Structure 1
Amino acid sequence: MPDRRHALTPDALAMMDTIARTGSFAAAARELGKVPSALTYSVRQLEDALDVLLFDRRSRQAKLTAAGEELLQEGRRLLAQMDAVANRVRRVATGWETQLTITADDVLSRRTLLELCEAFYAIRPQGGSEGTGTRLRLRAEVLAGTWDTLLSGQADLAIGVPFDMVLPSGFEMRSLGRVDFVFVMAPHHPLAGRDEPLTDAELLRHRAVAVADSAQRVSPITVNLLPGQDVLTVPTMQMKIDALLRCLGCGFVPEPMVRDHLALGHLVQREVRRARRETTLAYAWRSAAVGQPRQAPRGLALQWWLQQLESPATRQALLSLPSGLPCAESAAHGH
């Protein structure tokens, strides 16, 4: 009996597809440039190797058995996968990564990120009809969590890391821009009617809403929370804003994310005695392998994203998220 592994070749699977598509051995033989007897012999060799009948011999047409139908469907899937792998290998050989993972901080504009993805997928290398072949994977983390994914190798590019993070050897960082945070609460919150600026003693008597830092391996960052203060911790910045709208607490949020709510009176801003918080964010990527001081060559996909981030307009768009836009579902700030 022939070895089934050697029998299940791309040519054998393509032959099955041709017979099923044309409806007869004679028509398939003409398309493949073979005589019908050669095709019949090849099918019998395949049936012997698999120890099944692939075609119903009682029919004059090339009618597949249940086993033949299964082989046809799986064979078509395998042929498509082989073509995809071959195409991807050729693309990788030209410098395009197989996958690029991008971590973005929770306060960044998801609309802008998706617009960048849309532009990336529109790339046609060397004027061809196909894209780069690079799979994009987006993650949403925050503060130390965003940095954590880059350090641990879970991300190739981290957008929105704190600019004041200590940069280890083998990484590069560029400034993304500044995010202004404002202290807000619902208009019927007790602090909304108090004289400004609000003191820490006044803030301590009221619940804060905070978004948890998503770091798993490095120390998480906690900001603007007072010792002993009651805290409602939520998983995303958007949920924090929703909690503030429901008067479940008060807290600092990025001004662009609540600009519309402030204009409509859904939230009110109050000055606090502590310094107004401004955060400078950055984007970072690994430039060399650990233990190798020489700069590693960048893949073409990473190069493209870094080129987009060089644009002041792109950086500004990432930092200007209107309050009406949804945020991503994962993780974030301890504001």
Structure 2
Amino acid sequence: MDSIGELAVFVEVVRSGSFVGASRELGVTPSGVSRKINRFEDRLGVRLFNRTTRSISLTEAGEVLFEQSEQILDSIKAAEDIAMDLSGKPRGQLRVAASAALSVGVIMPFLKTFSEKFGDIVTTTVQADGSIDIMSDRVDVALAFERPSESSFIIRKMIDDPWIVCAAPDYLKRFGKPETPDDLKNHRCLTINAGDRTTDRWEFDIDDKTESFAVESAHSGIGLALREAALQGVGIVRLAHFLVCQDVLDGRLVPLLSQYAPACERAIYAVYADRKYLPSKVRVFVDELQEHMSETMIQPFPRGMVPEV
């Protein structure tokens, strides 16, 4: 009788919202998930889900079981983490949640070195461009641009992440270099489109006051796409430091209007559960990632390392 296995499948179905979603997470077929749930219900003698052709929902018995099950499975996972740490080196599965931009710009360049050093840690990246529920989504560490209001988390500031206004050398050769924020009105600017909001006003410090300047948007989109457009010489872009730092250091992009940059109010944070026992796999991942970021995300850009145009 695999009570824990059945319980884990049940919880995954609830979290995923469907048998198909649970099957993807568990690596089994939807019919296999359905059979597990049917056997579980038969053994308990109660129906756990209301099923229709399009959706499922928890019965009263299912709601009670789910509330208790999450705590049980979390306790089992914590016990497994403690047991694995007794082997003397960090190991096990590590789920990291981050936006697509952070995954591409920060985590992927870091993983090669990390996996070579800690080969017994198997890392899975979970895309989270919106809010992330660390407990429900079974995430060990989340990277975020804002400090969560939830007080039960450990929140560690990894590095400042200011906005950088920049453009490709090719664009600047063709259209010239803006000398003041007001000059941007004569340039093609690339603006981030965040849902129904386009960031077509950029902030700069003028005489110790922060002022916003309207920019003419030649193209809007997500950060990763705008970075590529800027590299192709489409226009001037304002992006997070982590996305363009290496491009600037390699000469592919040139920082602009740095003397008008406002005080940095942005940062990247690591967020993880406040546990009595922190698994070593979480600790070494966060420690190593912060060291990697401090070495690669150079702030401010040193004189002589940035090309002149």
Q: TM-score, normalised by structure 2?
A: 0.49
Q: TM-score, normalised by structure 1?
A: 0.46
Mark the structure with the bigger radius of gyration.
1
